[in-house]
Structure 1
Amino acid sequence: MSNTNYIGGIVKILENPKQKILKNNLLVTRFRVQFPQVRNNCIVQLTFWGNLARDVATYYRINDYILIEGYLSIVNKKNSNQTNSNKLLKKGNITVLKIYPFLLSYDRSVMIGSDG
């Protein structure tokens, strides 16, 4: 039997990774991405933990395309834009377990491993 919330796909990075250190000295990196679709924009937040969180913040930038695998969770949040509204917004969050570079942007400000 397979797990129905395991997801894999190619996404485009929309914002710079934001890192946070939790109380137990565990590093967490989060940022928003978009699934490339013709009709609808599907934007979700990615969450990375530990060493993977450090590597993602080091190597990936805005407009890079990456291949991810992880677990999808949906969070219901109250709509703060409308007054006196009880509507709930569904926000997607993917906890990423594996990441692969797919199409990286050409302009890199930091060249890893170069001497000049």
Structure 2
Amino acid sequence: MGDTNIVGGIVKILETPEHKTFSANISVTKFRVQFPQFRNTSVVHLTFWGNLARYVADFYKINDYILIEGYISLRTKRISSKVISKSKKIEITVFKVYPLLLS
């Protein structure tokens, strides 16, 4: 049986949201954020799908604070299709987002 880990929190957007649309009108938006209540080095990758991906790409930018809810996962880092041993990144697939402080 698999574990499902749901996380929520306030995050600061660190980079411009990168929006892509695939062949069947499937949208995905990805960018990096940080949790302001932790060390400055706690960077997390967010992924948004569908209509939420389009919404986030249109309305949010660098230095905005948002409240997110999503599923957390640990991914292996890849650089040019090579797996870096023992190197992981935290990724949150977001299913709800709320504006908190927009710049």
The TM tier, using the shorter chain, reads: 0.7 to 0.9
Classify the secondary structure of the residue corresponding to 1:56: helix
Q: CA deviation at 1:21?
A: 1.3
Query: Which segments of structure 1 move beyond 6 Å, counting only runs of 4 or more?
Result: none
How many residues in Structure 1 have an aligned counterpart in Structure 2? 97
| Alignment check: 8 A CA contact 2:76 2:87 kept | yes
- In structure 2, stretches of 5+ residues that fail to align are none
**Richer in strand (by share):** 2
Classify the secondary structure of the residue corresponding to 1:41: coil
Q: Name the amino acid aligned to 1:51.
A: N
For residues 38 and 48 of structure 2, what CA distance do their matches in structure 1 show?
27
Match of 1:99 in 2: 97
> What's the C-alpha RMSD, in Å, of the aligned pairs?
1.8
| Alignment check: 8 A CA contact 2:34 2:40 kept | no
CA distance 1:38–1:32, shift in 2 (3 Å): closer
State which structure, 1 or 2, has the greater radius of gyration over its C-alpha atoms.
1
Q: RCO (CA 8 Å, sep 6+): is it higher in 1 or 2?
A: 2
Match of 1:70 in 2: 70
| Alignment check: 8 A CA contact 1:26 1:49 kept | yes
